[in-house]
Structure 1
Amino acid sequence: MFGFRRSTMVEPADALPGRPEPIVAPERHTVLGTPLTGPWPEGLQVAVFGMGCFWGAERIFWQMPGVYSTSVGYAGGYTPNPTYEETCSGRTGHTEAVQVVYDPARVSYEQLLKAFFENHPDAGQPAGQRRRQPISLRDLHHHPPEQEKVAKVTLDAFQPIVTASGHGQITTEIKPLDTFYYAEDYHQQYLDKVPNGYCNHGPNGLSCPIGVAKLES
Protein backbone atom coordinates (compact mmCIF):
# COMPACT_ATOMS: atom_id res chain seq x y z
CA MET A 1 0.00 0.00 0.00
CA PHE A 2 2.94 2.37 -0.64
CA GLY A 3 3.48 3.28 2.99
CA PHE A 4 0.14 2.31 4.53
CA ARG A 5 -0.14 -0.15 7.36
CA ARG A 6 -1.68 -3.27 5.92
CA SER A 7 -2.94 -6.35 7.69
CA THR A 8 -1.40 -9.47 6.21
CA MET A 9 -3.55 -12.39 5.21
CA VAL A 10 -3.47 -14.36 8.43
CA GLU A 11 -5.26 -17.70 8.59
CA PRO A 12 -8.21 -17.90 11.01
CA ALA A 13 -6.49 -20.52 13.15
CA ASP A 14 -3.44 -18.23 13.51
CA ALA A 15 -5.34 -15.05 14.32
CA LEU A 16 -5.01 -13.38 17.71
CA PRO A 17 -7.65 -14.51 20.24
CA GLY A 18 -9.07 -11.07 20.94
CA ARG A 19 -11.51 -10.60 23.80
CA PRO A 20 -15.23 -10.95 24.53
CA GLU A 21 -15.74 -7.32 25.53
CA PRO A 22 -16.10 -4.73 22.75
CA ILE A 23 -14.35 -1.40 22.74
CA VAL A 24 -16.90 1.14 23.97
CA ALA A 25 -17.47 3.84 21.36
CA PRO A 26 -18.21 7.45 22.36
CA GLU A 27 -21.86 8.38 22.49
CA ARG A 28 -21.71 11.29 20.02
CA HIS A 29 -19.88 12.32 16.87
CA THR A 30 -17.63 15.24 17.81
CA VAL A 31 -18.35 17.12 14.56
CA LEU A 32 -21.88 16.14 13.54
CA GLY A 33 -23.31 15.73 17.02
CA THR A 34 -25.16 12.58 15.96
CA PRO A 35 -24.98 9.15 17.64
CA LEU A 36 -21.89 7.11 16.83
CA THR A 37 -23.64 3.75 17.11
CA GLY A 38 -27.03 2.43 16.01
CA PRO A 39 -29.84 1.70 15.82
CA TRP A 40 -30.14 4.36 13.13
CA PRO A 41 -33.17 6.46 12.20
CA GLU A 42 -35.49 4.87 9.66
CA GLY A 43 -34.46 5.31 6.05
CA LEU A 44 -30.73 5.69 6.65
CA GLN A 45 -28.25 3.26 5.12
CA VAL A 46 -24.75 2.13 6.06
CA ALA A 47 -21.60 1.66 3.97
CA VAL A 48 -18.11 0.67 5.09
CA PHE A 49 -14.91 1.68 3.29
CA GLY A 50 -11.31 0.64 3.85
CA MET A 51 -8.88 3.29 2.58
CA GLY A 52 -5.71 2.68 4.55
CA CYS A 53 -5.22 4.91 7.59
CA PHE A 54 -8.75 5.70 8.76
CA TRP A 55 -8.10 9.17 10.20
CA GLY A 56 -8.14 11.13 6.95
CA ALA A 57 -10.66 8.81 5.32
CA GLU A 58 -13.24 9.49 8.00
CA ARG A 59 -12.96 13.27 7.57
CA ILE A 60 -13.67 12.98 3.84
CA PHE A 61 -17.03 11.38 4.55
CA TRP A 62 -18.18 13.45 7.54
CA GLN A 63 -17.79 16.55 5.36
CA MET A 64 -20.21 15.26 2.73
CA PRO A 65 -23.81 16.59 2.78
CA GLY A 66 -26.26 13.83 3.55
CA VAL A 67 -23.90 11.88 5.80
CA TYR A 68 -25.53 11.40 9.20
CA SER A 69 -22.66 9.84 11.12
CA THR A 70 -19.21 8.35 10.66
CA SER A 71 -17.01 6.19 12.83
CA VAL A 72 -13.76 4.29 12.48
CA GLY A 73 -13.07 0.68 13.29
CA TYR A 74 -11.86 -2.68 12.12
CA ALA A 75 -13.52 -4.84 9.46
CA GLY A 76 -13.00 -8.00 7.48
CA GLY A 77 -10.96 -10.08 9.92
CA TYR A 78 -11.14 -12.88 12.45
CA THR A 79 -10.08 -11.56 15.87
CA PRO A 80 -13.08 -10.54 18.01
CA ASN A 81 -12.94 -6.99 19.37
CA PRO A 82 -9.40 -6.24 18.20
CA THR A 83 -7.33 -3.30 19.39
CA TYR A 84 -5.51 -0.85 17.14
CA GLU A 85 -2.14 -2.38 17.99
CA GLU A 86 -3.41 -5.88 17.25
CA THR A 87 -4.87 -4.81 13.91
CA CYS A 88 -1.62 -3.11 12.90
CA SER A 89 0.30 -6.28 13.76
CA GLY A 90 -1.28 -8.07 10.79
CA ARG A 91 -2.44 -10.91 13.00
CA THR A 92 -6.17 -10.19 13.10
CA GLY A 93 -7.08 -10.16 9.39
CA HIS A 94 -8.82 -6.78 9.77
CA THR A 95 -8.31 -3.54 7.91
CA GLU A 96 -8.83 -0.05 9.25
CA ALA A 97 -12.27 1.00 8.02
CA VAL A 98 -14.76 3.86 8.08
CA GLN A 99 -18.45 3.24 8.73
CA VAL A 100 -20.63 5.81 6.96
CA VAL A 101 -24.29 6.25 7.87
CA TYR A 102 -26.05 8.27 5.21
CA ASP A 103 -29.41 9.47 3.96
CA PRO A 104 -29.88 8.07 0.42
CA ALA A 105 -32.39 10.83 -0.30
CA ARG A 106 -29.55 13.37 0.04
CA VAL A 107 -26.41 11.49 -0.99
CA SER A 108 -26.25 8.33 -3.06
CA TYR A 109 -24.04 5.31 -2.53
CA GLU A 110 -22.46 6.13 -5.90
CA GLN A 111 -21.45 9.55 -4.61
CA LEU A 112 -19.80 7.91 -1.62
CA LEU A 113 -17.96 5.58 -3.99
CA LYS A 114 -16.81 8.57 -6.01
CA ALA A 115 -15.32 10.08 -2.86
CA PHE A 116 -13.65 6.74 -2.10
CA PHE A 117 -12.03 6.40 -5.52
CA GLU A 118 -11.07 10.04 -6.01
CA ASN A 119 -9.47 10.58 -2.61
CA HIS A 120 -7.29 7.53 -2.37
CA PRO A 121 -3.61 8.55 -2.34
CA ASP A 122 -2.41 5.60 -4.44
CA ALA A 123 -4.61 6.19 -7.46
CA GLY A 124 -3.16 9.55 -8.54
CA GLN A 125 0.56 8.87 -8.52
CA PRO A 126 2.27 10.18 -11.68
CA ALA A 127 2.81 7.54 -14.32
CA GLY A 128 6.57 8.01 -14.20
CA GLN A 129 6.61 7.13 -10.51
CA ARG A 130 4.15 4.22 -10.30
CA ARG A 131 3.77 3.14 -13.90
CA ARG A 132 2.11 -0.25 -14.36
CA GLN A 133 1.87 -0.80 -10.63
CA PRO A 134 -1.39 -2.23 -9.26
CA ILE A 135 -3.60 0.20 -7.39
CA SER A 136 -4.81 -1.18 -4.08
CA LEU A 137 -7.86 0.78 -2.97
CA ARG A 138 -8.48 -1.53 -0.08
CA ASP A 139 -11.92 -2.84 0.68
CA LEU A 140 -15.53 -2.01 -0.10
CA HIS A 141 -17.78 -3.80 2.37
CA HIS A 142 -21.34 -3.99 1.12
CA HIS A 143 -24.56 -4.51 3.07
CA PRO A 144 -27.49 -5.11 0.64
CA PRO A 145 -26.81 -6.79 -2.73
CA GLU A 146 -27.56 -3.49 -4.47
CA GLN A 147 -24.42 -1.96 -2.97
CA GLU A 148 -22.32 -4.85 -4.28
CA LYS A 149 -23.64 -4.35 -7.81
CA VAL A 150 -23.10 -0.59 -7.78
CA ALA A 151 -19.58 -1.00 -6.37
CA LYS A 152 -18.57 -3.52 -9.04
CA VAL A 153 -19.97 -1.48 -11.93
CA THR A 154 -18.36 1.72 -10.64
CA LEU A 155 -15.00 0.02 -10.15
CA ASP A 156 -15.15 -1.36 -13.70
CA ALA A 157 -15.90 2.13 -15.02
CA PHE A 158 -13.01 3.63 -13.06
CA GLN A 159 -10.45 1.04 -14.19
CA PRO A 160 -9.87 2.54 -17.70
CA ILE A 161 -9.22 5.92 -16.08
CA VAL A 162 -6.69 4.37 -13.72
CA THR A 163 -5.08 2.50 -16.61
CA ALA A 164 -4.83 5.66 -18.69
CA SER A 165 -2.98 7.34 -15.81
CA GLY A 166 -0.26 4.71 -16.08
CA HIS A 167 -1.34 2.20 -13.44
CA GLY A 168 -2.28 -1.44 -13.52
CA GLN A 169 -5.25 -3.36 -12.20
CA ILE A 170 -7.17 -2.02 -9.21
CA THR A 171 -6.98 -4.57 -6.40
CA THR A 172 -9.96 -3.41 -4.35
CA GLU A 173 -11.85 -6.23 -2.67
CA ILE A 174 -15.64 -5.96 -2.70
CA LYS A 175 -17.09 -8.24 -0.07
CA PRO A 176 -20.00 -8.60 2.35
CA LEU A 177 -19.61 -7.02 5.76
CA ASP A 178 -19.76 -9.53 8.58
CA THR A 179 -18.75 -7.48 11.62
CA PHE A 180 -17.55 -3.93 12.21
CA TYR A 181 -15.66 -3.39 15.45
CA TYR A 182 -15.45 0.17 16.72
CA ALA A 183 -11.96 1.57 17.25
CA GLU A 184 -10.75 3.22 20.42
CA ASP A 185 -12.14 6.61 21.48
CA TYR A 186 -9.03 8.59 20.51
CA HIS A 187 -9.28 7.40 16.89
CA GLN A 188 -12.88 8.58 16.44
CA GLN A 189 -12.94 11.90 14.51
CA TYR A 190 -9.19 12.07 15.11
CA LEU A 191 -8.57 14.99 12.75
CA ASP A 192 -11.19 17.07 14.54
CA LYS A 193 -9.44 16.43 17.84
CA VAL A 194 -5.96 16.85 16.30
CA PRO A 195 -6.41 19.24 13.34
CA ASN A 196 -2.73 19.02 12.33
CA GLY A 197 -2.60 15.25 12.72
CA TYR A 198 -1.31 12.84 10.10
CA CYS A 199 -3.41 12.63 6.94
CA ASN A 200 -2.45 11.35 3.51
CA HIS A 201 -5.89 11.46 1.90
CA GLY A 202 -7.05 14.04 -0.58
CA PRO A 203 -7.93 14.52 -4.26
CA ASN A 204 -5.75 12.29 -6.43
CA GLY A 205 -6.51 14.03 -9.73
CA LEU A 206 -8.58 11.21 -11.21
CA SER A 207 -12.31 11.45 -11.93
CA CYS A 208 -14.54 8.49 -11.13
CA PRO A 209 -17.69 8.28 -13.29
CA ILE A 210 -20.98 7.70 -11.54
CA GLY A 211 -24.46 7.05 -12.85
CA VAL A 212 -23.17 3.99 -14.68
CA ALA A 213 -24.89 1.39 -12.51
CA LYS A 214 -28.50 0.64 -13.44
CA LEU A 215 -30.34 -1.12 -10.66
CA GLU A 216 -33.27 -3.36 -11.42
CA SER A 217 -36.56 -2.09 -10.07
Structure 2
Amino acid sequence: MSRYLFAFAMTLLTLPALAAQPGLSTATFAGGCFWCVEADFLSVPGVVEAVSGFSGGSEPDPTYKQVSAGLTGHLEAVQVTFDPARVSYAQLVEWFWRHHDPTDADGQFCDRGRQYGPAIFVHDKEQRRVAEESRRRLVESKVLPGPVRTPIVDFAAFFPAEEYHQRYSKKNPLRYQFYRFNCEREATLRALWGEQADKPFSYYQDHQKE
Protein backbone atom coordinates (compact mmCIF):
# COMPACT_ATOMS: atom_id res chain seq x y z
CA MET A 1 0.00 0.00 0.00
CA SER A 2 1.39 3.43 -0.93
CA ARG A 3 1.98 5.98 1.78
CA TYR A 4 -0.80 8.16 0.34
CA LEU A 5 -3.33 5.34 0.50
CA PHE A 6 -2.18 4.41 4.00
CA ALA A 7 -2.62 7.99 5.25
CA PHE A 8 -6.00 8.24 3.54
CA ALA A 9 -7.10 4.98 5.16
CA MET A 10 -5.90 6.20 8.56
CA THR A 11 -7.92 9.39 8.13
CA LEU A 12 -11.03 7.39 7.29
CA LEU A 13 -10.53 5.01 10.18
CA THR A 14 -9.82 7.57 12.89
CA LEU A 15 -11.27 11.06 12.96
CA PRO A 16 -14.22 10.77 10.58
CA ALA A 17 -15.17 7.46 12.19
CA LEU A 18 -15.17 9.11 15.60
CA ALA A 19 -16.98 12.21 14.38
CA ALA A 20 -19.58 10.01 12.70
CA GLN A 21 -20.57 8.61 16.07
CA PRO A 22 -23.83 10.16 17.27
CA GLY A 23 -23.29 13.47 19.01
CA LEU A 24 -19.58 13.96 18.29
CA SER A 25 -18.12 16.96 16.47
CA THR A 26 -14.79 18.00 14.93
CA ALA A 27 -12.64 21.10 15.34
CA THR A 28 -9.22 21.92 13.89
CA PHE A 29 -6.61 24.31 15.31
CA ALA A 30 -3.01 25.27 14.58
CA GLY A 31 -0.93 26.76 17.36
CA GLY A 32 2.69 25.92 16.71
CA CYS A 33 4.18 22.58 17.73
CA PHE A 34 1.40 20.02 17.38
CA TRP A 35 2.77 17.93 20.24
CA CYS A 36 1.89 20.80 22.59
CA VAL A 37 -1.46 21.70 21.03
CA GLU A 38 -2.48 18.04 21.08
CA ALA A 39 -1.53 17.65 24.76
CA ASP A 40 -3.38 20.84 25.72
CA PHE A 41 -6.61 19.66 24.09
CA LEU A 42 -6.36 16.11 25.41
CA SER A 43 -6.55 17.60 28.90
CA VAL A 44 -10.00 19.07 28.20
CA PRO A 45 -13.03 17.16 29.57
CA GLY A 46 -15.26 16.22 26.65
CA VAL A 47 -12.43 15.87 24.12
CA VAL A 48 -12.57 12.32 22.80
CA GLU A 49 -9.47 12.45 20.58
CA ALA A 50 -6.82 14.87 19.35
CA VAL A 51 -4.64 13.96 16.38
CA SER A 52 -1.49 15.75 15.24
CA GLY A 53 -1.22 16.50 11.54
CA PHE A 54 -1.17 19.11 8.82
CA SER A 55 -3.77 21.45 7.34
CA GLY A 56 -4.00 24.52 5.16
CA GLY A 57 -1.70 23.55 2.28
CA SER A 58 -2.14 22.26 -1.24
CA GLU A 59 0.24 19.29 -1.26
CA PRO A 60 -1.63 15.99 -0.71
CA ASP A 61 -0.32 13.71 2.04
CA PRO A 62 2.67 15.81 3.14
CA THR A 63 5.40 14.41 5.33
CA TYR A 64 6.63 16.04 8.52
CA LYS A 65 9.96 16.69 6.83
CA GLN A 66 8.27 18.56 3.98
CA VAL A 67 6.00 20.61 6.24
CA SER A 68 8.71 21.50 8.77
CA ALA A 69 10.88 22.75 5.88
CA GLY A 70 8.04 25.02 4.75
CA LEU A 71 7.68 23.30 1.37
CA THR A 72 3.92 22.58 1.24
CA GLY A 73 2.03 25.56 2.66
CA HIS A 74 0.61 23.43 5.47
CA LEU A 75 0.55 24.35 9.13
CA GLU A 76 1.19 21.90 11.92
CA ALA A 77 -2.35 21.39 13.17
CA VAL A 78 -4.42 19.28 15.54
CA GLN A 79 -7.83 17.87 14.76
CA VAL A 80 -10.03 17.51 17.82
CA THR A 81 -13.01 15.20 18.16
CA PHE A 82 -15.26 16.33 21.00
CA ASP A 83 -18.61 15.71 22.64
CA PRO A 84 -20.62 18.98 22.48
CA ALA A 85 -22.82 17.72 25.29
CA ARG A 86 -19.77 18.03 27.56
CA VAL A 87 -17.78 20.86 25.99
CA SER A 88 -18.89 23.48 23.50
CA TYR A 89 -16.99 24.63 20.44
CA ALA A 90 -17.00 28.13 21.95
CA GLN A 91 -15.20 26.82 25.03
CA LEU A 92 -12.60 25.06 22.87
CA VAL A 93 -11.93 28.33 21.05
CA GLU A 94 -11.50 30.18 24.36
CA TRP A 95 -9.09 27.48 25.53
CA PHE A 96 -7.17 27.71 22.27
CA TRP A 97 -6.67 31.48 22.51
CA ARG A 98 -4.99 31.11 25.87
CA HIS A 99 -2.70 28.26 24.79
CA HIS A 100 -0.96 29.99 21.90
CA ASP A 101 0.32 33.47 21.06
CA PRO A 102 -2.35 35.18 18.92
CA THR A 103 -0.04 38.14 18.26
CA ASP A 104 2.50 36.05 16.32
CA ALA A 105 1.51 34.88 12.83
CA ASP A 106 5.08 34.02 11.77
CA GLY A 107 5.57 31.04 14.06
CA GLN A 108 4.98 30.18 17.70
CA PHE A 109 7.41 30.45 20.58
CA CYS A 110 10.82 29.06 19.50
CA ASP A 111 9.51 27.55 16.25
CA ARG A 112 9.75 30.05 13.42
CA GLY A 113 8.17 29.98 9.98
CA ARG A 114 4.60 30.10 8.70
CA GLN A 115 4.35 26.30 9.01
CA TYR A 116 4.32 26.87 12.79
CA GLY A 117 1.89 29.77 12.62
CA PRO A 118 -1.57 29.78 14.25
CA ALA A 119 -4.99 29.37 12.68
CA ILE A 120 -8.54 28.36 13.47
CA PHE A 121 -9.84 26.11 10.68
CA VAL A 122 -13.63 26.35 10.72
CA HIS A 123 -15.71 23.42 9.47
CA ASP A 124 -19.02 25.22 8.93
CA LYS A 125 -20.82 28.56 9.17
CA GLU A 126 -21.66 28.11 12.84
CA GLN A 127 -18.03 27.47 13.78
CA ARG A 128 -17.05 30.59 11.83
CA ARG A 129 -19.69 32.64 13.65
CA VAL A 130 -18.51 31.44 17.05
CA ALA A 131 -14.81 31.87 16.24
CA GLU A 132 -15.26 35.37 14.80
CA GLU A 133 -17.36 36.48 17.76
CA SER A 134 -14.74 35.12 20.16
CA ARG A 135 -11.98 36.89 18.22
CA ARG A 136 -13.95 40.15 18.29
CA ARG A 137 -14.28 39.96 22.08
CA LEU A 138 -10.57 39.24 22.41
CA VAL A 139 -9.63 42.23 20.23
CA GLU A 140 -11.97 44.53 22.15
CA SER A 141 -10.60 43.36 25.50
CA LYS A 142 -7.17 44.80 24.63
CA VAL A 143 -5.67 42.26 27.00
CA LEU A 144 -2.88 41.38 24.56
CA PRO A 145 0.18 43.57 23.90
CA GLY A 146 -0.33 43.55 20.12
CA PRO A 147 -2.92 42.93 17.41
CA VAL A 148 -4.62 39.54 17.15
CA ARG A 149 -3.10 37.94 14.04
CA THR A 150 -4.48 34.40 14.26
CA PRO A 151 -6.57 33.91 11.08
CA ILE A 152 -9.91 32.16 10.87
CA VAL A 153 -9.97 30.15 7.64
CA ASP A 154 -12.23 27.58 6.02
CA PHE A 155 -11.19 23.98 6.63
CA ALA A 156 -10.27 22.04 3.49
CA ALA A 157 -8.32 18.91 4.43
CA PHE A 158 -6.39 17.33 7.27
CA PHE A 159 -3.55 14.81 6.98
CA PRO A 160 -2.45 12.92 10.10
CA ALA A 161 1.26 13.14 10.87
CA GLU A 162 3.44 10.07 11.18
CA GLU A 163 2.58 7.72 14.03
CA TYR A 164 5.60 8.64 16.16
CA HIS A 165 4.17 12.18 16.51
CA GLN A 166 0.84 10.99 17.91
CA ARG A 167 0.47 11.29 21.71
CA TYR A 168 4.09 12.37 21.83
CA SER A 169 3.67 13.89 25.30
CA LYS A 170 2.59 10.46 26.58
CA LYS A 171 5.14 8.37 24.67
CA ASN A 172 8.13 10.61 25.42
CA PRO A 173 7.23 12.67 28.49
CA LEU A 174 10.77 13.74 29.40
CA ARG A 175 11.69 14.84 25.88
CA TYR A 176 8.34 16.57 25.55
CA GLN A 177 8.71 18.52 28.78
CA PHE A 178 12.31 19.41 27.91
CA TYR A 179 11.20 20.75 24.52
CA ARG A 180 8.24 22.67 25.97
CA PHE A 181 10.39 24.27 28.66
CA ASN A 182 13.25 25.22 26.35
CA CYS A 183 10.82 26.64 23.81
CA GLU A 184 9.58 28.94 26.63
CA ARG A 185 5.98 28.10 25.82
CA GLU A 186 4.74 28.40 29.42
CA ALA A 187 6.78 31.53 30.14
CA THR A 188 5.47 33.26 27.02
CA LEU A 189 1.87 32.32 27.78
CA ARG A 190 2.14 33.66 31.32
CA ALA A 191 3.61 36.91 30.03
CA LEU A 192 0.73 37.24 27.54
CA TRP A 193 -2.22 36.09 29.62
CA GLY A 194 -1.18 36.55 33.25
CA GLU A 195 -3.04 34.38 35.73
CA GLN A 196 -5.46 33.14 33.04
CA ALA A 197 -2.63 31.11 31.50
CA ASP A 198 -2.65 28.78 34.51
CA LYS A 199 -6.41 28.42 34.91
CA PRO A 200 -7.87 24.89 34.63
CA PHE A 201 -10.42 24.23 31.94
CA SER A 202 -13.23 24.43 34.50
CA TYR A 203 -12.53 28.17 34.68
CA TYR A 204 -13.51 28.57 31.01
CA GLN A 205 -16.59 26.42 31.48
CA ASP A 206 -17.72 28.70 34.30
CA HIS A 207 -16.80 32.00 32.61
CA GLN A 208 -17.67 31.34 28.97
CA LYS A 209 -19.60 34.24 27.43
CA GLU A 210 -22.24 33.12 24.95
TM-score band w.r.t. shorter chain: 0.7 to 0.9
CA distance in 2: counterparts of 1:61 and 1:164, whole angstroms: 23
Match of 1:172 in 2: 150
Q: Residue type of the partner of 1:66?
A: G
Query: What is the 5 A alignment of 1:177-192?
Result: 177-192=155-170
Could you tell me whether the CA contact under 8 Å between 2:51 and 2:79 is conserved in 1? yes
The structural deviation recorded for 1:119 is: 1.3
Partner of 2:76, secondary structure, is strand
Where has structure 1 moved over 6 Å in runs of 4 or more?
24-27
- Inter-CA distance 103–164: structure 2 relative to 1 (3 Å threshold): closer
Partner of 2:7, secondary structure, is coil
Percent of aligned pairs with the same amino acid: 34
Could you tell me whether the CA contact under 8 Å between 1:48 and 1:97 is conserved in 2? yes
Match of 2:5 in 1: 21
Could you tell me whether the CA contact under 8 Å between 1:36 and 1:69 is conserved in 2? no
The structural deviation recorded for 1:176 is: 1.3
The structural deviation recorded for 1:23 is: 3.1
- Inter-CA distance 180–103: structure 2 relative to 1 (3 Å threshold): same
Q: Which has the higher helix share?
A: 2
CA distance in 2: counterparts of 1:85 and 1:193, whole angstroms: 20
* Unmatched segments (≥5 aa) in structure 2: 106-116, 197-203
Match of 1:211 in 2: 209
CA distance in 1: counterparts of 2:156 and 2:8, whole angstroms: 19
Which of 138, 158, 173 does residue 195 from structure 1 map onto? 173
- Aligned residue pairs total 174
Q: CA RMSD in A?
A: 2.4
TM-score, normalised to structure 1, is 0.72
Match of 2:92 in 1: 112
Match of 1:3 in 2: none
- Inter-CA distance 69–164: structure 2 relative to 1 (3 Å threshold): closer
- Deviations, residues 128-182 of structure 1 (Å, cap 9, x unaligned): xxxxxx4437110111210000000001101233x34422x11111111111001
Partner of 1:39, secondary structure, is helix
- Inter-CA distance 153–178: structure 2 relative to 1 (3 Å threshold): same
TM-score, normalised to structure 2, is 0.74
The structural deviation recorded for 1:26 is: 7.1
Partner of 1:21, secondary structure, is helix
* Unmatched segments (≥5 aa) in structure 1: 1-18, 28-34, 124-133, 213-217
Could you tell me whether the CA contact under 8 Å between 2:15 and 2:81 is conserved in 1? no
